[in-house]
Structure 1
Amino acid sequence: MTPAPLKIAIASFAHVHAAGYAAELLRRPGVEVLASDPDGASAPDDAPRGIELAAGLGVDYVDTYDELFAWGPDAIVVTTENARHRSVVERAAAAGVHVLCEKPLATTLDDAEAMVAACEAAGVLLMVAYPVRFAPQFDALRARLDAGVLGEPFAIVGTNNGKIPDSRAWFTDPELAGGGSLVDHVVHCADLIDALTDGLPARTVYAVSNRLLHAERGVAAETGGLATITYENGLIATIDCSWSQPSGAPNWGGVSLEVSGTLGSMRIDPFAERVAGYRQDGALWMGYATDTDALMLDRFLGAVRDVLGGEGSAVPQPDGRVGIRTLQIVDAARRSAREGRPVAVTPVAEAAR
């Protein structure tokens, strides 16, 4: 017997990853996709949104979230502006719809805790979109660390430097995004460290930031920064986060992570696999790295199918609690950069640990 198609809703085209997720979902057999982007018409930029973008992608579209939820989706991909995650996730939980939410989970810890609580109370999956942890290079690093090849890790250096996401102006709006590059780029490395350390709590963060990059655009949010994190066991990590990739660069940027242990060190650069060169009109970049978005969607859709089939209930990683822990680091980094001193990471409710 052929199983019923999996119905996946896409809430908003605000995030730059929304179009890629939609295209990937459309390629999959046994998946139906419906999108809605009610805030697209009021977006502060000219990039395609709403029905225009849906038509270009070949995605079925409805005008309101009421219509989207009336369709009866099995799961929803939340790609709204960061500040609007909570309202959609709580609505999905109330409707019994499983959730894949873009990072960061929210702009405030209160919102993140409420989202996790709502999904746990409703018994729906809540996964956070951290695709880099699905890179084969990260799997290799984690395997060697788990096997003791590197010894006990004592320092980690992460970088996440990319282009300013100016095709979506809300990314540089501190209210809608929660901040700038500290928010957009610290979380990816924080998630990788969280996975390597099995959720080791962070204790203090010392961060600095500036708006030297893209000053001519009058960007209100920070465009570059550096965060130093001290964890419960003394592990120290630094994360270099910026929108420093030139707008004319042939790719968006990259992520790297280097782990130093008592027996050795190992560095990964998951997006470095490419053929590069030059043409008369500029640089050439042909990447052939594994599509981590596809691997992440594999994990999420597989978990949803298992739950619907009565074969599983475990929340796929990274889950909402990972989202809270990584947001704790971002929240501390924002406060530290504002106050000019190291700050303690704000604890969360025991239910969300």
Structure 2
Amino acid sequence: MRVGVLSAAHVHIDAFSCTLNRTDGVQFVGIYDDNEERGKKKAIEHETSYFSHLKDVLDQSDAVIICAENARHEELALAALEAKKHVLCEKPLSISTASAEKMAKKADTEQLVLATAFPMRFNTPALQLKEALANKIIGNILAFHGTNQGQCPGGWFVDGKLAGGGAVMDHTVHLLDMMRWLLKAEVKTVYAEIGSFLWSPYGIDDVGHIQLEFDNGVIADIDPSWSRPLGYPTWGGLTLRVTGTKGTIDFDGFAQIISSYDRQRTSWNYWGDDEYSWMIKGFIDAIYGRPTELASAWDGVAAVKVVEAAYLSAREGEVVELK
């Protein structure tokens, strides 16, 4: 399978590139980027080719991974799908529901895979949690409490036109997708309070609290804030408390760490499973029609829809009902 990467803009470009280089059966074709300096730098780091023209990398690829700024996802995905290439797109799928739906419908029309990069579906503790909940270890699920706090990533992530939003756009989607994946249910209502307190010079939301109700009656809340200071041991983390009729399970997706210290700070070095490796394999499985936990384009649409509703709720100060 020949796989190319479209853009080196996203912070996860290194995770994707390293994984492509070590995945059996995959040929890492190279990286396309309209920013020549950025694209060449990453191509050199990962010992692959740099492409200055989108058509050239598409001509040499069977599938592509989009690591661009959020606002460019639609443009690149539609170009790839038009060229009959399968696509794995970095989250969020796009910056609006209408845009995400356009992408998903195009993939359906072309009968191609358009997947959303939600690697937590391949996280070993998350898979164990899913099995435990399916076996009703804690009875019927009543509520979720999730945190995906992190540091402000800076760069284009704090440019509203390129990112489509701030912390709520960036961090809500992982937990929201996990909840849908675990419940097999859809969000019914959204209420959110969102603000800019910690990184106010950027003029973009950096804190938020989102409350959800699913169509099966389960309630949930998510804290997606960029609330970790720069001196924090790591970029952030992802936790989920699941409360059921017979007990509670606390999940931490990145608890497998080694602590190290120097005179400046403490660092947490993650040694656990590589979700990106399993996600890439899941992408290939989806292309060949094999069963996989990979999130589809429509899973990506569902996440964007909730984020869009959260921003609307915060602006209006009202609960938003999803249709």
Give TM class, smaller chain: over 0.9
Q: Which residue in the other structure is 1:131 paired with?
A: 119
Is residue 34–residue 62 contact of structure 1 (8 Å, CA) maintained in 2? no
* CA gap 1:284/1:36 in 2 versus in 1, 3 angstroms: closer
Percent identity, aligned pairs only, is: 33
SS of 1:195's equivalent in the other structure is helix
Deviation larger for 276-285 or 251-260 = 276-285
SS of 1:161's equivalent in the other structure is coil
1:210 aligns with 2:205: no
Quick one: which of 303, 316, 325 aligns to 2:286? 303
Cα distance, 1:97 vs structure 2? 0.8
Gaps of 5+ in 2: none
Cα distance, 1:262 vs structure 2? 0.9
Is residue 36–residue 64 contact of structure 1 (8 Å, CA) maintained in 2? no
Q: Deviations over 1:12-49 (max 9, x none)?
A: 001110122011101224322233443325xxxxxx61
1:55 aligns with 2:51: no
- Equivalent residue runs for 1:1-353 within 5 Å: 6-40=1-35, 49-71=38-60, 73-166=61-154, 169-198=155-184, 200-215=185-200, 218-304=201-287, 306=288, 312=289, 317-345=294-322, 347=323
For 1:303, give the aligned amino acid. Answer: A
Count matched residues: 323
SS of 1:10's equivalent in the other structure is strand
* CA gap 1:15/1:293 in 2 versus in 1, 3 angstroms: same
For 1:326, give the aligned amino acid. Answer: A
Cα distance, 1:130 vs structure 2? 0.5
Is residue 125–residue 316 contact of structure 1 (8 Å, CA) maintained in 2? no
Whole-Å separation in 2 of the counterparts to 1:56 and 1:244: 31
* CA gap 1:209/1:294 in 2 versus in 1, 3 angstroms: same
Is residue 118–residue 294 contact of structure 2 (8 Å, CA) maintained in 1? no
Whole-Å separation in 2 of the counterparts to 1:245 and 1:57: 29
Stretches (4+) displaced over 6 A: none
Cα distance, 1:81 vs structure 2? 0.8
SS of 2:202's equivalent in the other structure is coil
Cα distance, 1:176 vs structure 2? 1.2
Cα distance, 1:142 vs structure 2? 1.0
Cα distance, 1:132 vs structure 2? 1.3
Whole-Å separation in 2 of the counterparts to 1:21 and 1:194: 24
For 1:19, give the aligned amino acid. Answer: D
Cα distance, 1:191 vs structure 2? 0.5
For 2:178, give the aligned amino acid. Answer: L
Cα distance, 1:225 vs structure 2? 0.5
Whole-Å separation in 1 of the counterparts to 2:49 and 2:97: 34
Cα distance, 1:316 vs structure 2? 5.6
Is residue 194–residue 208 contact of structure 2 (8 Å, CA) maintained in 1? yes
Is residue 187–residue 330 contact of structure 1 (8 Å, CA) maintained in 2? yes
- Normalised TM-score (structure 2): 0.95
Gaps of 5+ in 1: 1-5, 42-47, 307-311, 348-353
Cα distance, 1:208 vs structure 2? 0.7
Is residue 37–residue 49 contact of structure 1 (8 Å, CA) maintained in 2? no
For 1:49, give the aligned amino acid. Answer: R
Is residue 285–residue 291 contact of structure 2 (8 Å, CA) maintained in 1? no
- Normalised TM-score (structure 1): 0.88
Whole-Å separation in 1 of the counterparts to 2:165 and 2:34: 20
For 1:15, give the aligned amino acid. Answer: H
Whole-Å separation in 2 of the counterparts to 1:37 and 1:328: 29
Q: Deviations over 1:248-271 (max 9, x none)?
A: 223211000111111111011011
For 1:331, give the aligned amino acid. Answer: E
Whole-Å separation in 1 of the counterparts to 2:70 and 2:165: 10
Is residue 192–residue 314 contact of structure 2 (8 Å, CA) maintained in 1? yes
Is residue 66–residue 90 contact of structure 2 (8 Å, CA) maintained in 1? yes
Two-structure CA RMSD over aligned residues (Å): 1.6
SS of 2:314's equivalent in the other structure is helix
